[in-house]
Amino acid sequence: MGKKVAIVGAGMTYFRSMLPMTPQEMIYEAARKSLDDCGLEFKDIDAVVSGSAPDAFDGYHHKGLVGVEPSDGVGKPYSRIYVGGGTGVGVAVAGWWHVASGAFKKVLVVAWEKMSHPYPHAQPLFKTIFDPIIEQPLGPNLIWIFALEMRRYMEAHKLSKELIARVAVKNKGNALDHPYAQLGAKITVEDVLKSPVLVWPVHRLDISPSSDGAVALVFASEEEAKKITDTPVWIDGVGACLDSQFWTNRDLAYPYYVYLAAQQAYKMAGIANPLKEIDVFEPYDPFTYKELHHLDALLGKPGLAPKLLAEGQLERDGDYPTCPSGGLLGVGNPIAAAGLMKVAELYWQLSGRAGKRQVPNACVGVAQAWGDLMQVAQVVVCRS
């Protein structure tokens, strides 16, 4: 299906709660590093695919245009992809279209976020994502949607808070080995349970931070990739799927739309049994329970992920390493950049460049992001 597409370079900025840089400066830094990684120059790039989350975070509309100059998009096809929190992996899916279609040979894929712009916090901006007639008058905050879903998930599989808290312990621990991470830390289950309850059952340490940061990847056609590098990482499958805009119409215990997106990607990649055939998992983990919720769907088995977590199988040295990067909980959550960081992690893991985070003999990986009004699934499967 389509022409073969390789990731040949990657780069990123630090993820921090507040970077003293403009979006343009962050985009340039990530793009420059990704090109240096594979020995290319901006002039070698045929098209730019960019991604960033809501305009409201920056307070100016059409904020995609800030990426044009620092990515050398002037005089080239340049587009901005936006599917909310799913943007980071969605931008990689869109980058794949560009090359798989045969229309472009070398494409720069870049995603960024400045969540420190809204003052004092981005939280109030989220209220405009809710339906203006039947939800906004009730004064919803973003976290309670997650709290309702988490509670439903916990009841469906009889899960304890203690077990779910282990996701935060694992991911923040993994992030200690990520050179760009914001919140790498050695914490305990007790630390999570003792952190303030924001919207029960969600505690502060169940939530990823708000962050600034940028990530860039270079995609190339098969012919070009072989000229550029000896260690290309192939994008073997992509998938995208949505559920209803109205979360009252969704199965809160199982994100079936993530399952469908994963199945699209697996079919393209020739993967019949993800549990046996995938070496590295990077599911979207903005909240602790979401890693498990999403991994259930990536594995196609509701309730399996918490069992694997309890057995220690999701650790970096377990049988199913999950978020070896440290994930959003550990590396940070500059929305669009966070999703693309997961695809970058697949590139680093599968090309043997992950340093202290390296999962031995990793050949196949899956990355997934989720967003919009909590109902978008974007999936990428990579193979070395």
Residues that bind other proteins (CB under 8 A): 59, 121, 123-124, 127, 132-135, 137-141, 143-144, 147-149, 151-152, 155, 196-202, 244, 246, 248-249, 252
HSE-CB at 115 with a 13 A cutoff on CA atoms is: 25
For residues 192-230, one letter each, b for 16 or more C-beta atoms within 10 angstroms of the residue's C-beta and e for the rest, the string is: beebeebbebbbebbbbbbbbbbbbbbbbbeebbeebbe
Q: How far apart are alpha carbons 365 and 277 in whole angstroms?
A: 9
The Cβ of residue 141 has, within 10 Å, a number of other Cβ atoms equal to: 14
Instruction: Report the residue number, 201 or 352, with the smaller CB distance to other proteins.
Output: 201
Q: DSSP H helical segments within 69-183, as ranges?
A: 87-100, 142-157, 161-175
Q: How far apart are alpha carbons 187 and 200 in whole angstroms?
A: 21
As measured in angstroms, the least distance from the Cβ of 121 to other proteins is 6
Describe the crossing of helices 288-299 and 142-157 by its angle, rounded to 10 degrees: 60
Instruction: Report the residue number, 59 or 179, with the smaller CB distance to other proteins.
Output: 59
As measured in angstroms, the least distance from the Cβ of 154 to other proteins is 9
Q: Is the dihedral of CA 123, 147, 238, 240 positive or negative?
A: negative
As measured in angstroms, the least distance from the Cβ of 155 to other proteins is 6
Residue 52 token pair: 């960033």
Q: How far apart are alpha carbons 8 and 39 in whole angstroms?
A: 10
Q: Which H or E element spans position 80? A: strand 78-81
Q: How far apart are alpha carbons 117 and 111 in whole angstroms?
A: 16
- Asked whether 370 and 290 are in contact (CB, 8 A), the reply is yes
Residue 47 bridge partners (DSSP): 107
Instruction: Report the residue number, 135 or 222, with the smaller CB distance to other proteins.
Output: 135
Instruction: Report the residue number, 140 or 173, with the smaller CB distance to other proteins.
Output: 140
As measured in angstroms, the least distance from the Cβ of 241 to other proteins is 16
Instruction: Report the residue number, 249 or 361, with the smaller CB distance to other proteins.
Output: 249
- Asked whether 332 and 88 are in contact (CB, 8 A), the reply is no
Instruction: Report the residue number, 102 or 137, with the smaller CB distance to other proteins.
Output: 137
As measured in angstroms, the least distance from the Cβ of 197 to other proteins is 6
Instruction: Report the residue number, 103 or 197, with the smaller CB distance to other proteins.
Output: 197
As measured in angstroms, the least distance from the Cβ of 54 to other proteins is 13
Q: How far apart are alpha carbons 320 and 309 in whole angstroms?
A: 9
Instruction: Report the residue number, 175 or 199, with the smaller CB distance to other proteins.
Output: 199
As measured in angstroms, the least distance from the Cβ of 136 to other proteins is 9
As measured in angstroms, the least distance from the Cβ of 203 to other proteins is 10
As measured in angstroms, the least distance from the Cβ of 217 to other proteins is 32
Instruction: Report the residue number, 32 or 117, with the smaller CB distance to other proteins.
Output: 117
